[in-house]
Amino acid sequence: MNLKEELKKYFGYNSFRGDQESIIKSVLLKKDAFVIMPTGAGKSLCYQLPAVLMEGTAIVISPLIALMKNQVDQLNAHGIQAHFLNSTLSKSEATRVKKSVLAEKTKLLYVAPESLTKEENVDFLSKANISFVAVDEVHCISEWGHDFRPEYRKIRTILRELGEFPVIALTATATPKVQLDIQKNLNLEDAELYKSSFLRDNLFYEVRPKTNSKKQLITYVKQFKGQSGIIYCLSRKKAEELADLLQVNNINALPYHAGLEQSVRMKNQDAFLNEEVDVITATIAFGMGIDKPDVRYVVHYDAPKSLEGYYQETGRAGRDSLQSNCLMFYSYSDIVKLEKFNKDKTVSERDNARQLLDELVGYAESSTCRTRQLLNYFGERTDEDCGNCDNCKNPKDKFEAKDDLLLALQAIEQTKEHFGFKHVADVIKGSEAKAIKSNGHVDLMVWGKGKSHDAQYWASILRQGLINGFLDKDIEQYGVLKLTEKGKDFIKNPFSIEFVKDHEYPEVGEEEDTKEKDTVKSYDKELFALLKQLRKTLGQKKGLPPFVIFQETSLQEMATIYPITKDDLTRVNGVGIGKATKFGKPFLDLIQKYVKEKNIEPQTEVVIKSTFNKFKAKIFIIQQIDRKMNLDEIASARNMSFDELLDEIERICFSGTRLNLDYHLNDILDEEDQDEIFDYFMEAETDSIEEAFHEFEEVFTEEELRLMRIKFLSEVGN
């Protein structure tokens, strides 16, 4: 039989990819096969073509009902008889499918593992002529995978009841540990193993600290205008929020998560596939089986639960082999959050989850080539850096690691190769924790030899030792470190070797609204001076103190982002439409001239437009002040402290909205005092509250002065 001709005939493809042909041949010879290929490599064909060519019906076990229909539809479109059996079928539909199988017309029958265990189905299947069984997404069998499904555990027992036939198991993710689990569980120790390289050299891997993450996200997504991208986050709520955030910032985005109605989900998915929408913000519910070749980027807005999951999800980028990007925002507080989710699990499940998270932390914080780390995780060793990841592109300082590596390897040796990262690091550091004492490890020669560094440092040394092949992780006892031959040799004859320092990530959570916080970093001093001068002349002309026109911080921001249109200008903190219209023109003219002269590329700096809620809060405050509502009551209605409310009122006022607080001021200050403060601001050089406070020799409180400043600005400036 000429397989190539059959391929062309049934599927229209001209040639096989990778190992497809050998795998298909082996299935046709009724041998067991275990196939590990990255997502998108073409695993389905490995069982679809043999199914067509062999007598009887191939059973395909697949975890996702939604995908079954999809695959069956595609096969039917090729003129191949395929059906599925799952809980969505009506009784009569199920009967029809069974008939077709028993008549040996159906070439492929997709079954969900739940359905497989049902007695009536077992009865029926034992009567069928089964050509072979394919178990797709077979990593679901292992608790060490990212998608564990208890029903997958039962597959082997059921299959045994059905009779003897070849099994082909397929997955895109298998760390050595998961691989072993699968082989044991399905009795596939002797099966032919087909494992293709996991190297995806068109993917640029990058990890960034999760600070100003919303702003970073918008900037990032904006560079891919008109191209497809997926943004993963942890919760349904977050998926919705991010879609909103992107939408108000003129990015075409829709959410996808299991909490949406089926019809909405389908609609959003289709919109993405048909390129009516550029970006999908999703939980991990999105993506399995999504076959869109030109996804240009995948962002993990929240840290993923494991590296397997991460690799799988990022694998959806760049299936067309063109350069694509994978960005993860990382903050340790996300890891803490993920750990909390595991609270209710059993001890062993929690331990597993913890170890998977540790691997992820190691990956994120390490400055070693990302590709090497990932490949290493999937059991592939490479000696070369990829040159195409953030760590390769921006190498961190290296340091001589000979002595420390030696110490780390000796620690593994002296603890008899029975322990994992944490324990070994603790021993070197000289910890007196219970586990260290009870194992007698305080008496070891290495104990406390590495006191001058923290445990994290030692974990990093161990991790780099692992990547460089000096040690290995035991597959049977997960996480236990063993010395390799190379490691043993090193202990005997240590040599000079350079390691890199880990990244240090700031201990911060996500900053929800960065707009107010990080406006001015380094501004253009020259332009700033010009703007300030202009403000002064303008103030003199109008008989106003300069700060009434724009605040100093607003000028600094202008000197950072170079606004040249009125629209740009309103993005500057403290500049609302009102002020932009009233005072903006000469400033814009000046900036325009300046940029032209200096040949400066105006930075269309991203300013996060706040989503609706924030806007609503602002409107609420303005309305309540209009109604002369007591300020304390407004604060408590918004769940704010009085101080926070005052901050908010100032923001509203500084960007040009006129507020009348007389009803409140008249309660706290008499007319004379009010006039005095008002006149002070009229004459003052700056609007600094501190200066006013000293000027009045601390007669008025800061709060009184701030409230008066609002009155003053509202009446004079806005």
Residues interacting with ligand ADP, by CB under 6 A?
Answer: 13, 16-17, 20, 37, 39-45, 172, 291
Binding partner at 176 among ligand ADP, Mg ion, none, C-beta below 5 to 8 Å by kind: none
Name which of 380, 470, 467, 374 is nearest 417 in CA terms: 470
Of these partners, ligand ADP, Mg ion, none, which one is at the site of residue 105 (CB under 5 to 8 Å by kind)?
none
Give whichever of 43 and 579 is closer to Mg ion, judged by the CB atom: 43
**Contact partner at residue 39 from Mg ion, ligand ADP, none, CB < 5 to 8 Å by partner kind:** ligand ADP
Q: For residues 43 and 535, which CB has a smaller minimum distance to Mg ion in the complex?
A: 43
Q: Which residue carries 């006129």 as its tokens?
A: 658
Cβ-proximal residue to Mg ion, closest one: 43
Stretch of residues binding Mg ion (CB under 5 A), selected from 36-44, 87-95, 222-230, 442-450: 36-44
Residue with Cβ nearer ligand ADP (42 or 379): 42
Contacts of 481 (CB under 8 A, 6+ apart): 412, 417, 419, 420, 421, 424, 462, 466, 471, 472, 473, 474
309 or 656: CB nearest ligand ADP: 309
- The Cα 580–Cα 584 span in angstroms is 4
Ranges within 320-349 binding Mg ion (CB under 5 A) = none
- Which CB sits closer to Mg ion, 40 or 563? 40
Return the residues of window 164-203 that contact Mg ion according to CB under 5 A.
none
Shortest distance (Å) from residue 338 CB to Mg ion: 27
Question: In sequence order, what are the residues at sequence separation of 6 or more whose Cβ sits closer than 8 angstroms to the Cβ of residue 549?
Answer: 535, 538, 539, 542, 579, 583, 717
Question: 37 is in the binding site of which of Mg ion, ligand ADP, none (Cβ under 5 to 8 A by kind)?
Answer: ligand ADP
Q: Which is nearer to Mg ion, 43 or 292 (CB)?
A: 43
Cβ atoms < 10 Å from Cβ of 294: 13
* Residue 24 Ramachandran class (φ > 0 left, ψ -120 to 50 alpha, else beta): alpha
Task: Using CB positions, name the residue nearest to ligand ADP.
Answer: 42
Distances (CA, A) of 232 to 240, 281, 301: 11, 6, 6
- Residue closer to ligand ADP, measured from CB, 291 or 670: 291
| Residue 41 touches which of Mg ion, ligand ADP, none (Cβ within 5-8 Å per kind) | ligand ADP
Cβ closest to ligand ADP, residue 17 vs residue 160? 17
Output the smallest distance, CB 242 to ligand ADP, in A.
26
- Selection from ligand ADP, Mg ion, none that 13 binds (CB < 5 to 8 A by kind) is ligand ADP
Q: In Å, how far from its chain's centre is CA 371?
A: 17
Q: 72 to each of 32, 368, 557, 574, how far by Cα in Å? A: 24, 43, 57, 58
Minimum distance from residue 311 beta carbon to Mg ion (Å): 15
Partner that binds at residue 98, options Mg ion, ligand ADP, none, CB closer than 5 to 8 Å by kind: none
| Least distance to ligand ADP, CB of residue 16, Å | 5
Q: Smallest distance, Å, CB 257 to ligand ADP?
A: 22
Q: Which is nearer to ligand ADP, 172 or 405 (CB)?
A: 172
Helices 485-492 and 402-414, axial angle in degrees (round to 10):
110
Rounded least distance, CB 102 to ligand ADP, Å: 28
The 43-72 site mask, x for binding Mg ion (CB under 5 A), equals x-----------------------------
d(CA 475, CA 174): 12
Nearer to ligand ADP by Cβ, of 39 and 228: the residue is: 39
| 509 three-class SS | coil
Residues in the chain: 718
Min dist CB 608 to Mg ion, Å, is 38
- Shortest distance in whole angstroms from residue 18 CB to ligand ADP: 9
Q: Which long-range contacts (CB under 8 A, 24 or more apart) does 418-422 make?
A: 418/480, 419/480, 419/481, 420/355, 420/479, 420/480, 420/481, 421/358, 421/362, 421/459, 421/462, 421/463, 421/479, 421/481, 422/358, 422/455, 422/459
Asked if 256 and 239 count as a contact pair (C-beta separation under 8 A), the reply is yes
- Choose from Mg ion, ligand ADP, none: what does 16 bind? Cβ within 5-8 Å by kind: ligand ADP
Strands 279-282 and 295-300: unpaired
- Which residues here bind Mg ion, judged by CB under 5 A? 43
